[in-house]
């Protein structure tokens, strides 16, 4: 099977997954795949983000099913659109395929991509498949909004804003612990351990929550890919403010506390120091909290206040005993 066949089959596979959804085609799309370029006619503003995954760096083929690799690649890219409050539109998929990955493996990967595309109404309009010594995926996603002003940036938080987070944290780091040390599952039971593993392998972009937050007046927003501490640092730097986070208020996924105890780790380190939870960190005026919480709840998630924005700079993590520290590694992370 040559490159052109494989691209065609991948596009078909993705399209089949989509046909099972309620999607019926988009007026925005003038030319889909099969030409030199895809053609769209966007209305308003577009948000574009790219994300790459490499075997051995972001996942391990030995432990991650290929379908989940495809899912994760697109989900992680879409998470950046969630952080802007954009509605997902189109995706483009570039794939480096090693000799030991056969056609069936590529299509399994494509099915995973297709599932996430179907779930979020994303049209995969183009791609490139090439030989490579190692499996890698490079995803481009394009989202839409009526105007650029409706999209929420990292810059925009100001002193007096509340800081809040969607969902629960620490699950992705907990899942990695369980994947690396399966005996730790005993500390939380099979069901909870499984949920933690899925959190690591199949992250879910908070698209609906992001749009709800954008619509209810978020001042600044970022998705938690590098960990709460590091990502809060990006938002603080972009906005020119200080973020003070009360660690006790950070919502932890079920099992994270028990798992941390069994692994002799700090539960808040799993939540604040590690990444890949792909929840949203948002700054918003206090008077918007009630409405924003209700709108996020309507998307099936939660919004939890975890701190405040003030006029300093950087990030401070405040423990229950009143002690304060900077996020680990924060000084190395600048953007």
Q: What are the residues binding a copy of itself (CB under 8 A)?
A: 2, 4-5, 7-8, 30-31, 34-42, 44-54, 56-58, 80-81, 83-84, 86, 90, 92-94, 96, 125-128, 130-134, 136, 138, 140, 142-143, 147-148, 151, 153-155, 221-223, 238, 332-335
Closest CB 335 distance from a copy of itself, rounded Å? 5
Closest CB 117 distance from a copy of itself, rounded Å? 16
Q: Which of 68, 225 has the CB closer to a copy of itself? A: 225
Place of tokens 């890219």: 77
Strand 242-246 and strand 162-166: the pairing is unpaired
Closest CB 70 distance from a copy of itself, rounded Å? 16
Q: Which of 83, 247 has the CB closer to a copy of itself? A: 83
Closest CB 298 distance from a copy of itself, rounded Å? 23
Q: Which has the closest alpha carbon to 128: 193, 37, 213?
A: 37
Q: Which of 203, 255 has the CB closer to a copy of itself? A: 203
Q: Which of 126, 255 has the CB closer to a copy of itself? A: 126
Are 96 and 130 within 8 A, CB to CB? yes
Q: Which of 132, 265 has the CB closer to a copy of itself? A: 132
Q: Which of 34, 300 has the CB closer to a copy of itself? A: 34
Q: Which of 96, 167 has the CB closer to a copy of itself? A: 96
As a whole number of angstroms, the distance between CA 38 and CA 16 comes to: 19
- Give the tokens for residue 217: 């007046």
Phi, psi (rounded to 5 degrees) for 89: -125, -75
As a whole number of angstroms, the distance between CA 43 and CA 124 comes to: 19
Query: 190-201 and 171-180 helices cross at what angle (nearest 10)?
Result: 110
Cβ-Cβ contacts under 8 Å for 300 (sequence gap 6 or more): 208
Closest CB 56 distance from a copy of itself, rounded Å? 7
Strand 314-318 and strand 242-246: the pairing is parallel
Closest CB 208 distance from a copy of itself, rounded Å? 16
As a whole number of angstroms, the distance between CA 235 and CA 314 comes to: 9
As a whole number of angstroms, the distance between CA 29 and CA 38 comes to: 8
Left, alpha or beta for 34 (phi > 0: left; psi -120 to 50: alpha)? Answer: left
Distances (CA, A) of 20 to 15, 74, 92, 311: 9, 18, 20, 50
Closest CB 34 distance from a copy of itself, rounded Å? 6
Closest CB 46 distance from a copy of itself, rounded Å? 5
Q: Which of 18, 154 has the CB closer to a copy of itself? A: 154
């Amino acid at each position: 099977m040559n490159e052109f066949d494989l691209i065609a089959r991948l596009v078909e596979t993705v399209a089949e997954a989509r046909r099972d959804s309620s999607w019926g085609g988009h007026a925005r799309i003038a030319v889909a795949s099969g030409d030199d370029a895809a053609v769209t006619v966007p209305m308003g503003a577009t948000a574009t983000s790219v994300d790459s995954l490499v075997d051995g760096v972001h996942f391990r083929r030995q432990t991650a099913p290929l379908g989940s690799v495809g899912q994760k690649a697109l989900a992680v890219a879409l998470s950046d659109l969630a952080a802007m409050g954009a509605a997902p539109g189109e995706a483009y998929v570039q794939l480096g395929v090693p000799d030991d990955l056969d056609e069936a493996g590529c299509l399994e990967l494509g099915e995973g991509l297709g599932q996430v595309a179907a779930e979020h109404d994303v049209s995969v309009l183009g791609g490139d498949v090439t030989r490579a010594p190692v499996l890698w995926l490079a995803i481009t996603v394009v989202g839409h909004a009526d105007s650029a002003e409706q999209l929420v940036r990292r810059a925009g938080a100001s002193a007096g804003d509340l800081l809040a987070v969607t969902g629960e944290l620490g699950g992705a780091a907990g899942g990695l612990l369980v994947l690396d040390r399966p005996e730790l599952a005993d500390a939380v039971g099979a069901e909870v351990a499984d949920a933690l593993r899925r959190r690591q392998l199949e992250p879910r972009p908070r698209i609906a929550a992001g749009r709800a937050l954008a619509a209810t007046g978020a001042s600044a927003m970022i998705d938690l890919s590098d960990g709460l501490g590091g990502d809060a640092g990006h938002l603080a730097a972009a906005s020119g403010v200080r973020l003070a986070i009360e660690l006790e208020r950070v919502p932890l996924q079920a099992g994270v506390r028990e798992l941390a105890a069994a692994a002799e780790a700090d539960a808040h380190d799993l939540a604040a120091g590690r990444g890949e939870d792909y929840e949203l960190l948002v700054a918003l005026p206090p008077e918007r909290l009630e409405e924003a919480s209700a709108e996020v709840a309507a998307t099936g998630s939660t919004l939890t206040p975890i701190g405040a924005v003030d006029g300093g700079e950087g990030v401070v993590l405040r423990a229950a005993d009143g002690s304060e520290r900077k996020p680990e590694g924060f000084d190395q992370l600048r953007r």
